Amino acid sequence: MEEKILKIINNVRENNQLAPLLKLDESDDLRNDIGLNSFDLAELTVCIEDEFDIDIFENGLVNTVGEIYKKLAE
């Protein structure tokens, strides 16, 4: 799961000409540490939902990588 999330995040970052990340930490903030904006978060949501069939923003905002992992583990 973690490798798939890294790949999805890197695909979103690539669309913004941002360098790929080598790894993710659970404490990484999606906006401040990873550099995603509102449009990127929408794209991220769609990609994660396509891959895992889960809407990570269904019950509110998700701010960190760890929160994504937690939602996917539920």
Which long-range contacts does 11-17 make (Cβ < 8 Å, 24+ apart)? 11/47, 12/36, 12/40, 12/43, 12/44, 12/47, 13/40, 15/40, 15/43, 16/40
8-41: per-residue pLDDT in tens? 999 999 988 999 999 999 999 999 999 999 999 9
Q: Check residue 74 and give its pLDDT.
A: 82
Q: Check residue 20 and give its pLDDT.
A: 96
Host domain of residue 46: 2-73
pTM over 0.75: yes
For the chain, the domain total comes to: 1
Indicate which CATH number applies to the domain containing 64: 1.10.1200.10
51-71: per-residue pLDDT in tens? 999 888 788 889 999 999 998
